[in-house]
Chain A
């Protein structure tokens, strides 16, 4: 293809990518380097229905002058990345000095906000993703084997968890696991422990979120595998049958190899999806026990009176780096394939 034609082909999508992907990322990186100007404070007397108090207040006029001079704020370099809300090297140093065992050290580091969110995000990603693939595969096998008449309704019901909006789905489950909800109180009876609470214990909260994640995403894997199953070559399958392969052997040596590229696709999609886990944490009010990187960004922007843009931007950049690292094996493979062909 001549270069000119190639350029004409690629240009529209290149412009769109530049506008909606590259520019926003660049702007987020830029924002993460700046923090708010030093606040100029004055003492004022506040009077209201409950009497008067002398309190400090921001001198908004002086601040306006500062802001019009430097609208982006005060340059802070990589300071925000290293502060105790993010990579927290200084606090890790302090923890290292005061702890004696590795267990203690790891415990305390994992309690720092960024690492706490990171460890949950990674655990969620690496537990939910394989479970979704395996479960989705078996649902697809099961559905594929049932007779045509009830297949339609079964497919519809298997897809329901994915049709329900994540926030609504998690709220429904949240009310069910309440200590007075149907699941919560059933568990209390089964384990004969009236104080058992899925919401209060961190471990059980994590398990609940994982189960929710698998429940929600399994239909996606199911649909993809089910579509793939329709294309498994019939003659290979029949010759395997003639050779006397059992049902399991046919699945193991014919179906699975054929569906493997699809599994890679699902793994990719799920890794990216699960790495940005957010809605279930809000839906389950789980932020006391489990936070994710996306949740950190949300709470920086919505947590207090004024949004902390630098913190949110820094977490976003770190999350982007996380996604790149996560997808690195696939990227490397694509690059190799490309070189081999070239």
Chain B
């Protein structure tokens, strides 16, 4: 218990909450709150607020790990479930729904959820299965100063984007259109390149934008010139080439009603308007909670919504399709295979996996 509280205090200090006062979290009744979550700043903020609810009668334990997706099904299948609440995204909620491991939240929302907005409620056939609290999508990051100096408009299509990077290369501003190692970069690796002024345009997740526009970061003058916009569209499709995601929480079916009530109240405390009252936390994501006013990092998400980007499908076989495409498109992107061949391989991969999982005959 002490250890847990210590780590909570450390997390809170790390993310700059500065205070660990827990006077406001009052939970009716007793219970155990066991949180499973992914590990990134915005979720850390939510989880550490929920952890403030620990008291003599309420035990709070947390597990923030990037492996959350791989353990969630097994962890919620046991009776009682290893976690009372899982922080999920629209993609990772599906495996839990497939196995029927989530608890309908309608009663809890009616009793404790007065602070929730209707747009936060995720319903399947009218039944509330999850509560969303932040939105996420990929967005275009660009260097406003470089585009302006070279008379380039913010790209709205991928064709524009390629033309823009070509003119930046022609003008000698950037060395190349794209690094040849592009397949192996993630957001963490892209950051130093961005800060070293070697990149003028990039697409990336909104939940990671805060690091790129952080004026207290390693390169404040570059961060100040970093702006975000909707993802470019491709071909003549006129909608951003991305999908909309939400992050939220869902609760385990196999837990006692006391634990469920305590957990729901802790989450409601975590997601109360004070969460986003702290400007540093507010800047971390596009929050969907009451009291949030959009910050620069979230502009891209809202721009995507406005431009008609589609939500990521919650169909049960989407994950397999995603994997099949991810495993097979690299060869096309590197120019080793034609698009037809790469797609044929993806179809074969998907067919194999979906047949084995019982979705295809």
Interface size on B, residues (CB 8 A): 62
Candidates B95, B322, B327, B334; contact of A306 at CB < 8 Å:
B95
Q: Are A49 and B120 in contact (CB under 8 A)?
A: yes
Least distance between A136 CB and chain B CB atoms (Å):
31
Q: With A84-B352, A288-B330 in contact, is A49–B336 under 8 Å at CB? A: no
Residues from chain B with Cβ under 8 Å of A194 in the complex: 175-176
Kindly state whether residue A187 has any CB partner on chain B within 8 Å.
Answer: no
Q: Looking across the interface, which residue of chain A has its beta carbon closest to that of B198? A: A180
In Å, the complex CA distance between A306 and B356 comes to 11
Kindly state whether residue B217 has any CB partner on chain A within 8 Å.
Answer: no
Candidates B97, B305, B330, B357; contact of A60 at CB < 8 Å:
B97
Q: Are B353 and A85 in contact (CB under 8 A)?
A: yes
Q: Are B314 and A46 in contact (CB under 8 A)?
A: yes
Least distance between A62 CB and chain B CB atoms (Å):
10
Least distance between B301 CB and chain A CB atoms (Å):
10
Binary interface encoding of chain B residues 320-348 relative to chain A, with 1 for a CB under 8 A from any of its CBs, else 0: 10110001001100101100010001001
Q: With A48-B132, A199-B183 in contact, is A306–B97 under 8 Å at CB? A: no
Least distance between B352 CB and chain A CB atoms (Å):
4
Kindly state whether residue A151 has any CB partner on chain B within 8 Å.
Answer: no
Q: Are B124 and A57 in contact (CB under 8 A)?
A: yes
Residues from chain B with Cβ under 8 Å of A39 in the complex: 316, 357-359
Binary interface encoding of chain A residues 12-51 relative to chain B, with 1 for a CB under 8 A from any of its CBs, else 0: 0000000000000000000000011111010011111111
Residues from chain A with Cβ under 8 Å of B99 in the complex: 60
Residues from chain B with Cβ under 8 Å of A200 in the complex: 180-181, 183, 334
Q: Are B353 and A304 in contact (CB under 8 A)?
A: yes
Of residues B126, B184, B246, B341, which shows the largest number of chain A Cβ atoms within 10 Å of its Cβ?
B184
Least distance between A79 CB and chain B CB atoms (Å):
9
Residues from chain A with Cβ under 8 Å of B361 in the complex: 38
Q: Are A48 and B353 in contact (CB under 8 A)?
A: no
Number of residue pairs spanning A and B whose beta carbons lie under 8 angstroms apart? 152
Of residues A56, A58, A113, which shows the largest number of chain B Cβ atoms within 10 Å of its Cβ?
A58
Residues from chain B with Cβ under 8 Å of A49 in the complex: 119-120, 122, 132, 135, 246, 288
In Å, the complex CA distance between A47 and B100 comes to 18
Kindly state whether residue A55 has any CB partner on chain B within 8 Å.
Answer: yes
Q: With A35-B356, A36-B357, A48-B132 in contact, is A64–B316 under 8 Å at CB? A: no
Kindly state whether residue A285 has any CB partner on chain B within 8 Å.
Answer: yes
Candidates B73, B184, B334, B359; contact of A285 at CB < 8 Å:
B184
Binary interface encoding of chain B residues 42-53 relative to chain A, with 1 for a CB under 8 A from any of its CBs, else 0: 000000000000
Q: Are A308 and B356 in contact (CB under 8 A)?
A: yes
In Å, the complex CA distance between A39 and B98 comes to 10
In Å, the complex CA distance between A303 and B298 comes to 30
Q: Are A61 and B356 in contact (CB under 8 A)?
A: no
In Å, the complex CA distance between A181 and B123 comes to 49
Q: Are B125 and A113 in contact (CB under 8 A)?
A: no
Q: With A49-B120, A49-B135, A199-B183 in contact, is A57–B315 under 8 Å at CB? A: yes
Least distance between A211 CB and chain B CB atoms (Å):
18
Residues from chain A with Cβ under 8 Å of B322 in the complex: 304
**For window 248-263 of chain B, which residues contact chain A by CB distance below 8 Å?**
none
Least distance between B325 CB and chain A CB atoms (Å):
11
Kindly state whether residue B233 has any CB partner on chain A within 8 Å.
Answer: no
Q: Looking across the interface, which residue of chain A has its beta carbon closest to that of B184? A: A285
Least distance between A209 CB and chain B CB atoms (Å):
14
Kindly state whether residue A144 has any CB partner on chain B within 8 Å.
Answer: no
Q: Are B345 and A47 in contact (CB under 8 A)?
A: no
Kindly state whether residue B94 has any CB partner on chain A within 8 Å.
Answer: yes
Residues from chain B with Cβ under 8 Å of A51 in the complex: 311
Residues from chain B with Cβ under 8 Å of A111 in the complex: 337, 341, 345
**For window 256-310 of chain A, which residues contact chain B by CB distance below 8 Å?**
285, 287-288, 299, 302-306, 308, 310
Least distance between A71 CB and chain B CB atoms (Å):
13
Kindly state whether residue B349 has any CB partner on chain A within 8 Å.
Answer: yes
Kindly state whether residue B244 has any CB partner on chain A within 8 Å.
Answer: yes
Residues from chain B with Cβ under 8 Å of A84 in the complex: 348-349, 351-352
In Å, the complex CA distance between A1 and B237 comes to 82
**For window 184-207 of chain B, which residues contact chain A by CB distance below 8 Å?**
184, 193
In Å, the complex CA distance between A53 and B314 comes to 9
Q: Are A55 and B357 in contact (CB under 8 A)?
A: no
A-B contact pairs, 14 of them (CB 8 A): A36-B356, A38-B361, A41-B316, A48-B122, A49-B122, A49-B132, A49-B288, A50-B311, A63-B98, A179-B179, A179-B180, A305-B94, A305-B98, A308-B353
Listed in ascending order, the chain B residues whose CB lies under 8 Å from chain A are 69-70, 73, 90-92, 94-95, 97-100, 119-126, 132, 135, 175-176, 179-181, 183-184, 193, 244, 246, 288, 305, 311, 313-316, 319-320, 322-323, 327, 330-331, 334, 336-337, 341, 345, 348-349, 351-353, 355-359, 361
Supply 12 further A-B pairs (C-beta < 8 A) apart from A46-B123, A285-B184.
Answer: A41-B316, A49-B246, A49-B288, A50-B244, A51-B311, A53-B313, A57-B316, A179-B181, A196-B180, A197-B180, A299-B323, A304-B323
The 4 closest A-B pairs by CB, nearest first: A60-B100, A305-B319, A288-B330, A197-B180
